[in-house]
């Protein structure tokens, strides 16, 4: 048993608006697994024994101060606070699974493991048995404790040996400029309007979930970046639009009506963190409405449409406005929070996470990111942009048919885009 002191010089951190939303959501969720996020690393070589695994996790805790925080207080007094002495053994477990079980299924099972509320809301699971030459290290956390970017920062530091700074209260954002308000107003129809048909016929909601993954070569994304000037994230969104178009071609290739021709409205989570915030604690997310050009037959034009709608200035202005609305005083913040998170219709969520540090760790064959769908959406997609790989996962309700085809269609759409430009 390894017990570490985790409160030396550390101070409590108040909840931000996104933290408070996740806190309330976790209190009312019927299934706690739907408020958890997970990144599973596929590791080659022999797995460590229990003692070595605890030692590795203890070393990570010493270098990532956020892992020594827990949720303290209740209601409006809830906040992040140092947890004091931390028993690493309580945050580590091992499971043996039947041979042949898919890594995606193993990651979903790890996501469902309970996280006791009286301790820091994270855990590490070592999974072996599914393949003779591979084991999984699944790092899971409550979405309240860490969002996807924070998880990637913490796991990247753990795998690379880097050290992260201690958490500190976040500065309040400044009021948005009139230009920002006008620029962001054009997204309102995307947020509340009805979207196009995109699910296959006979789709249903069962409550069970399926996960399918893909690992793509980052060089294809970098080649398209050199040719077009688009970012790797924009290339990923354009390829996803092509994959969804090929998944249900009947929805996009016919007449379809004006709603179909406009494309598929999705939610794109964007980080509201300051660029220098690397403490990896809490949830700091806004949800930007975006329309994927699935109805556009030209791959090059799909990329151009995505670049137009997700330019750096657009993202900056949206973060500025959204961050201010969520931190505005009194009724304004409550109304913005209520409208965005509770009144918007269910749609596909698409998350793009930069994670350059993960490639530097030895023996990592790939990542399996798992993030719950946004709100009541029947599905979601997560991209993790590494230096040499792009790891992708599709998490859908089991009642949606044909989701196992999406990883292959995504790879084909990426190659189609390379040929087109």
- How far apart are alpha carbons 270 and 285 in whole angstroms? 6
Could you tell me which residues come within 8 angstroms of residue 404 by beta carbon, excluding any fewer than 6 positions away? 210, 212
pLDDT value of position 342: 63
CB count within 10 Å of CB 260 equals 19
- How far apart are alpha carbons 85 and 3 in whole angstroms? 6
Residues of the chain with pLDDT under 50: none
CATH topology for 178-420?
Chloramphenicol Acetyltransferase (3.30.559)
CB environment 262-280: b (16+ within 10 A), e (fewer): bbbbbbbbbbbbeeebbbb
pLDDT value of position 378: 85
Phi, psi at residue 68, to the nearest 5°? -95, 15
Could you tell me which residues come within 8 angstroms of residue 220 by beta carbon, excluding any fewer than 6 positions away? 414, 415, 418
pLDDT value of position 93: 92
- How far apart are alpha carbons 393 and 370 in whole angstroms? 7
- Residue pair 392/367 in contact (Cβ under 8 Å)? The answer is no
- How far apart are alpha carbons 172 and 272 in whole angstroms? 11
> How far is C-alpha 261 from the geometric centre of its chain's CA atoms?
28
For the stretch 248-301, pLDDT in tens is: 998 898 656 666 778 898 988 888 887 778 889 998 887 788 899 999 999 999
pLDDT value of position 190: 63
pLDDT value of position 4: 57
- How far apart are alpha carbons 400 and 209 in whole angstroms? 9
- How far apart are alpha carbons 190 and 290 in whole angstroms? 7
Could you tell me which residues come within 8 angstroms of residue 54 by beta carbon, excluding any fewer than 6 positions away? 1, 2, 88, 89, 92
Residue boundaries of the structural domains of the chain = 3-160, 178-420
pLDDT value of position 195: 77
* CATH 3.30.559.10 for the 3-160 domain, yes or no: yes
pLDDT value of position 253: 80
Fold agreement between 3-160 and 178-420: yes
- How far apart are alpha carbons 154 and 369 in whole angstroms? 14
């Amino acid at each position: 048993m390894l017990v570490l002191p985790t409160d030396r010089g550390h101070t409590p951190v108040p909840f931000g608006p996104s933290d408070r939303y996740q806190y309330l959501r976790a209190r009312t969720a019927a299934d706690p697994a739907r408020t958890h996020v997970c990144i599973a690393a596929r590791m080659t070589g022999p797995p460590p024994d229990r003692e070595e695994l605890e030692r590795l996790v203890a070393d990570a805790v010493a270098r990532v101060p956020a892992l020594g925080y827990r949720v303290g207080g209740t209601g409006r007094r809830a906040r992040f606070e140092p947890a004091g002495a931390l028993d690493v053994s309580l945050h580590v477990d091992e499971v043996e699974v039947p041979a042949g079980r898919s890594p995606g299924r193993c990651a979903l099972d790890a996501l469902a493991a309970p996280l006791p509320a009286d301790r820091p809301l994270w855990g590490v699971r070592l999974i072996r048995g599914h393949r003779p030459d591979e084991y999984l290290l699944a790092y899971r956390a409550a979405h309240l404790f860490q969002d996807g970017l924070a998880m990637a920062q913490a796991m990247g530091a753990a795998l690379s040996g880097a050290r992260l700074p201690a958490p500190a209260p976040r500065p309040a954002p400044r009021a948005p400029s009139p230009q920002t308000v006008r620029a962001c107003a054009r997204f309102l129809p995307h947020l509340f309007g009805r979207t196009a048909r995109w699910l296959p016929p006979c789709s249903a909601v069962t409550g069970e979930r399926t996960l399918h993954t893909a690992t793509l070569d980052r060089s294809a994304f970098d080649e398209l970046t050199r040719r077009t000037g688009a970012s790797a994230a924009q290339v990923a969104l354009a390829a996803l639009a092509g994959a969804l178009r090929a998944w249900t071609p009947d929805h996009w290739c016919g007449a379809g009506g004006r709603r179909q021709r406009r494309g598929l409205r999705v939610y794109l989570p964007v980080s509201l963190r300051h660029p220098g915030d690397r403490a990896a604690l809490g949830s700091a997310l806004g949800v930007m409405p975006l329309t994927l050009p699935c109805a556009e037959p030209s791959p090059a034009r799909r990329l151009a449409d995505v670049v137009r709608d997700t330019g750096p200035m657009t993202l900056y202005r949206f973060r500025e406005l959204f961050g201010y609305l969520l931190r505005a005083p009194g009724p304004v913040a409550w109304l913005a929070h209520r409208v965005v998170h509770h009144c918007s219709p269910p749609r596909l969520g698409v998350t793009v996470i930069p994670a350059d540090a993960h490639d530097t760790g030895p023996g990592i064959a790939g990542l399996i990111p798992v993030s719950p769908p946004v709100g009541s959406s029947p599905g979601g997609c997560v991209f993790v942009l590494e230096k040499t790989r792009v790891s992708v996962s599709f998490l859908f309700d089991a009642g949606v048919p044909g989701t196992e085809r999406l990883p292959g269609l995504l790879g084909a759409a990426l190659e189609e885009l390379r040929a087109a430009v």
